[in-house]
Structure 1
Amino acid sequence: MKLRTILTVAATVFVLAAGTTTSPAKIWTQAASGKKIEADLVKVENGTAFLRLADGRIGEVPVASLTAEDQDYIKNFNKPVVADGWPNFRGAKLDGISPDKGLLKTWPANGPEKVWTYENAGNGYASVSVSGGKVFTIGTRESDVVVIALDEATGNELWSKKISTDDQQGYNAGWGHGPRSTPTYSEGHVYALGPKGTLACLSAEDGNVVWRRHMIDDFGGRAGGWGFSESPFIEGDKLVIGPGGQTAGLVALNKKTGEVMWKAEEVKPGKAEYATVVPADINGVHQYIRLFEKQVVGVDADSGKLLWSSPWDGATAVIPTPIVDGNRVYIGSGYGKGCKMIEIDSNFNTTDDWQNKIMKNHHGGFIKVGDHIYGFSDGAGLICQSWDDGEMVWNEKDGQFLAKGSVTVADGMIYCLNEQNGACTLGKISPDGFEKGGQFILEPQSEIRHNQGKIWSHPVVINGRLYLRDQDLIHCYNLKP
């Protein structure tokens, strides 16, 4: 058996242990003892280096205790914290694909090893974001909407902060109340949206509120029937979000102050609906794309000026986040509506390349890998669809374990969370067909979930760990060999 070294976090010293390693970025050496460790440098703060081990744990070591060579490396280290982990809904690239490598390709019969469970996330369908050694989420405890930070290694609560109240009025709480939006992390701050429209910026260190805005009161917005649900999109100093309404369907705020940078006053969509903004570069113009109930739009990133729009006949709830590749934009929604591929020409005129009902995705999201799209389609189960022509390549229900749910992708595998029974299924992601690598039932499941509610929070895979949330419960599993 190969030896490796690990950090003893509390004492911040090097010790020896037995085990196997993957291929982390660098070997670090303690000057006094000569002991070594293989780890990836996450960040440096106040003279302390934060190192991620192969098993996903994060250790702290004084920079001054390392060799001169290692200290020189740290001096030149300029990896921003924002690039670390899974800072927002659907990940750093907003594509639903984790950068993780070296993960398990098959699971034991009872699933991967559970690392920890947190039991006080409150009501709601938010997922988690992970960055800087912390896990962030949002939920409703009694009538308080609270943003929560957990320690990534242990699941212990670091802080929780109320940003608004949730009286379960003004939006449809018949399938369960609480936030539906996942918080976004950026440069030491967390940005969170409550179901009734409160948008808040908090310090990631202690949860202190820096600023608040309101989607209706400040921007004339209008929620969809199930409340405000999109996740804040951040790029540079801008936070871009879609309050909907007839005043400005999209707004950009200074993320540091909450002040308005621009309003997309040509975009008047009515209901905000539920999709999240995605960035794109089309015809050399950087832009933000947002799907609403009756249209999808692209606006200039610097000014909010409308560049193009394409109609969509959405109904009831339009939820999935669009996919952009080159000058093609893929959109879809559930309730029998299906999907379409939009092509944008050099003058920003749009044409529908194809449209069908192969992918009728309710709210579990879809992901592009190579030349194919993967996700759940109502009635068909998990499907693989051709990006080029929209045709079905394959579908799989695995009995009813893959009937309907949400997905994420990591290291060539797709992780599928069944909304009905909490079955989490691992499969090889390939246009050649579905090959199962493991399956387990999420346990325990929430006792406070509404009797009509289901397990709708999207799964997250990052730093060698799988995160699954069911209302008040957040489960963390180890995916490393």
Structure 2
Amino acid sequence: VLTALSLQDGNTLWRVKRPGRHYHPMGGLGPRSTPTIVNYKDQTLVVALTATGHLLCVDLQTGSVRWELQLLEKSQTNQTDFELAVNWGRAASPLVHKDRVIVPLGGAQNQIASSLMACSLDDGSVLWTQGKSQISYASPVLMNIHGVEQIVSVNEGDVTGHAWEDGRVLWTSPWASNSNGAACASQPILIEANKILVGKGYSQGSKLFEVNLKEPGSETEPIENLQSGDPVWSTKDLWSINKILKTKFTSSIYHDGKLFALSDGILECVDPADGSRIWRGQRYGQGQTLMVNGTLLVSSEDGRIVAVDKKSGKPIAEMTVLEGITWNTCAVAGPFLLVRNGSEAVCLTAPALGETTK
């Protein structure tokens, strides 16, 4: 179910229902993916992906469906076979940029999968499918590296950079994972101009690697899909440490030259230069973090919102706002702080956070 609520009173404005209720004993009913809202051709659109592969484009004001796709059909599989490979449901948020939507596609177990699919924001028509790695639970991220706009995707077993225009693979960096077990859910983070951080739980931690660009004709190993005359891309690991930034359900934050994250539920701050830990704070469980106008917020697994001092990691203020397991990222809209989990949602007034977010 895709639901729009009034920001003023929480009343339901519209709902869009689709079949395919997804339940897993360890993950429950979700929610998993976060909808993407975009202004496009004088309209405000919501692009959402369900756990079972329904990709919807909906008018924000009315809830009317402009177009929809079923990713299982595009990957030529069914939910039962797909879950043998990716068994906790699709969790990536759609990447919407310019006139297209990018989502991880995937496929059945032991099937050559397409890592990414691009479709038109106008009508949902498929523009390209690229990559051969099985998908993870991470969202694709748009990055500009060496002046080239590209999509960075964390997959099962590697991280890939894809050309924006046609999705061809520009570079690959190995990153072990298994979407049935030791899964990746964290988004890649661009640090400085050409360095990318990836992280996960399951005692693997994080690594930082750089993406380099050479002119055509330079000596390099061949790259799949490389076209004649293309620039040549390569990657180099800078560090990989299994004791830090073990982001199982969450992603790291890069702010003021430092990295902040919940590492197996414990808040910590890390120097990206060498991966050394600057401080270690309290345990908040498998919650989420958000940086708002320089304020570090933690949404804890047990339903608390905590403001934390960035220099020491010590709590400044906290409030219990929800009951039950809370895995969702909180959001800020103007002076409002929105927090939700699988059963309830809360809107708080936080003027200090929203001074520059309106």
Q: TM-score, normalised by structure 2?
A: 0.84
Matched, 1:153 2:8: yes
92, 98, 120: which one pairs with 1:254? 120
Deviations 1:186-231 (A, max 9, x none): 2221111111111111111211112111122113474522011100
| Separation in structure 1 between the aligned mates of residue 147 and residue 339 of structure 2, nearest angstrom | 39
The correspondence for 2:273, drawn from 368, 381, 388, is 388
Bigger drift between 198-207 and 174-183 goes to 174-183
Q: Residue 395 of structure 1 aligns to which amino acid in structure 2?
A: R
One-letter code aligned to 2:316: G
* 1:163–1:200 contact (8 Å) kept in structure 2: no
One-letter amino acid matched to 2:347: C
Distance (Å, rounded) in 2 between the aligned partners of 1:196 and 1:479 = 35
Residue aligning to 1:360: 246
Match for residue 345 of structure 1?
Answer: 212
Compute the displacement of 1:283 (Å). 2.3
Match of 1:406 among 263, 288, 313: 288
Alignment of 1:195 with 2:39, yes or no, is no
Asked if 1:185 is matched to 2:37, the reply is yes
1:285 and 1:410 mapped to 2: Cα distance?
28
Name 1:423's counterpart in structure 2: 304
Higher relative contact order (CA 8 A, sep 6+): 1
Structure 1 CA distance for aligned equivalents of residues 63 and 153 of structure 2: 29
The number of equivalent residue pairs is 315
Q: Is the Cα–Cα contact under 8 Å of residues 408 and 461 in structure 1 kept in the other structure? A: no
Gaps of 5+ in 2: 215-232, 353-358
Q: 1:254 to 1:189 in 2, by over 3 A?
A: same
Q: Which amino acid aligns with 2:246?
A: K
1:166, 1:196 within 8 Å by CA — same for their partners in 2? yes
2:95 corresponds to: 233
Displacement, 1:175?
Answer: 3.1
Q: Deviations over 1:131-184 (max 9, x none)?
A: xxxxxxxxxxxxxxx11111222222111111333164xxx3443124410111
Normalization by structure 1: what TM-score?
A: 0.63
How many angstroms apart in 2 are the aligned matches of 1:244 and 1:324?
24
The question of 1:212 aligning with 2:78 is answered no
Structure-2 residue corresponding to 1:329:
196
Secondary structure at the aligned position of 1:216 is classed as helix
Task: Name the residue aligned to 1:478.
Answer: 349
Deviation sequence 1:71-91 (CA, Å, 0-9, x none): xxxxxxxxxxxxxxxxxxxxx
* Equivalent residue for 1:269, pick from 133, 138, 149: 133
1:469 is matched with 340
Taking the TM superposition and a 5 Å limit, the aligned residue runs for 1:425-444 are 425-429=306-310, 432-443=311-322
1:309 aligns with 2:195: no
In structure 2, relative to structure 1, the CA distance for the partners of 1:220 and 1:339 (3 Å cut) is farther
Q: 2:121 aligned with 1:242, yes or no? A: no
Give RMSD over aligned pairs.
Answer: 1.7
Instruction: Quote the residue 1:82 is aligned against.
Output: none
Alpha-carbon distance in structure 2 between the residues aligned to 1:391 and 1:236: 38
Q: Deviations over 1:367-404 (max 9, x none)?
A: 1002111010016x10001111111111111xx4x344
Secondary structure of 1:258's match? coil
Q: Distance in 1 between matches of 2:129 and 2:61?
A: 31
Question: How high is the sequence identity, in percent, across the aligned residues?
Answer: 28
| Aligned amino acid, residue 467 of structure 1 | L
- 1:73-84 equivalences in 2 (<5 Å): none
Structure 1 residue runs of 5 or longer lacking an equivalent are: 1-145, 447-453
Report which of the two structures shows the higher radius of gyration computed on alpha carbons. Answer: 1
Deviation at 1:343, TM superposition (A): 0.7
